[in-house]
Structure 1
Amino acid sequence: MDLKRWTHIVAVADRRSFVRAAEQVHLSQPALTRSIQAAEAELGLVLFDRGNQDVVPTPAGEFIVARARQLVFDNRCLERDIALYRSLELGDTAFGVGPFPAATFLAPLLASMRREFPAIHLRVEISNWQLLLARLREEDIEFFVADTRDLPIDSGLEVRPLRHEPGGFYVRAGHALARLRAVTLQQLWTCGVLSVRLPAEVRGVIAQLLGLPSAAELSLALECDDVELLKDIALDCDSVLAAPHAAVAQEVEAGRLRALEVKGLPISASEMGVVTLNGRTPSPMARLLMSRLPAGA
């Protein structure tokens, strides 16, 4: 039985009159009567006693009306929720970000979303691309943003490039290296370098510049996916921080961190992209979030 007929049954039970119920559901009285008669025929039950005055549900009618009322209510709620979902006022999503995106544009992005859509629930997982890819394939997140240089070639994935985030090496104010016009990579590695997991391409370039036989020989003093933690450590010791410029802009402006000029080092930047499962339709909120990510140059 279609939902309109359940609506008719509830209207007759509520208004106790075919005439008044017909006005409520915008039908003629004969059309509503035929609808109720068809419902009774389909169910094999008499739903209403037609008295001289009020129309009242039979015992079977009381049983049916209670359940029909819930169906009608749930449908109204569903229609409302669909309208809210379409207008981005209801719904939620989960997505992932790598360490560099988390340290650069994530906070302002989430703050703007909270201001505009306070009823939305978001879940963000911050990790390296390997773990985020596993979450994506498990469909635990809808998309993730990370440096995609080491991402495996996979027809099941769709990758949209985002802007490059230039990076460099930084030390605390007062560090011996901060007084030098330029430093060497060897000097940096002697002090100990703090960084997130470096892409294979970057590791290869640095290993070659350091004169190491292979990228496997390159070691970091501390490797961690939390850029904020690495930044705090660099501010409190003589280790050297490798990070995107945007992640340390405030500390550099305040004079707490100093950028180092490194001899012979090519300009480096993270190559971020947004990664989704090919063929999976994103939710409206996921689609909006992805549209607000920093576009590629």
Structure 2
Amino acid sequence: MAMHPIDTRHLRHVLVLAKHRSFRKAADALFITQPALTKSIKNLEEQLGVNLFDRKSQSVDPTPHCEVLLEHAERVMHELEEIRHSLDAISDNLRGELRVGTGPIVSRGPISDAVARLVSKHPELSIRVDIDNWAGLLKQVRSGSLHLMVADIGGVEEQDDLHIHHLAPMRSIAACRPGHPLLNKGYVEA
């Protein structure tokens, strides 16, 4: 029996449902109705001939079949996104979504300025900025959920699986109100 091609919408629905473990929350995240999501998952399960989720009263849990599918689905969706970016780069007209991660301090100055310049230069480009700690950002870059990160990761050196470009160091200051007891210390150690 020949297998029909898997619709990428179904893969996206499986990924989001596995993340949220709830049809209602996943449907909200996908901006579709819960019955539409249920039908999409059921159609894919029928097409594959396996149950992808164990449906319980309080949660929806991926089955072992689903875990295998999730591994491949993440890679497929990432590759499709890379194809879109490569094609956009050829036309030299940036469009689509750029997902950038940054730390809380960097997000206020350099990132917001760069985002404003990029958007004015490329109006068809939408930029999503996620704020997290550097360990969380590294994980998201490696998984493909972020395209890049800009963060102060002082102790982290070159990573074999990442291309790291060192930016100019940020100037930092410590400030306190006049008369604060720390002013009498002369030197404060963290």
TM-score normalised according to structure 1 size: 0.31
Select the structure with the greater relative contact order (CA < 8 A; seq sep ≥ 6).
1
Task: Give the alignment's TM-score, normalised by structure 2.
Answer: 0.46
Which of 1 and 2 has greater Rg? Answer: 1
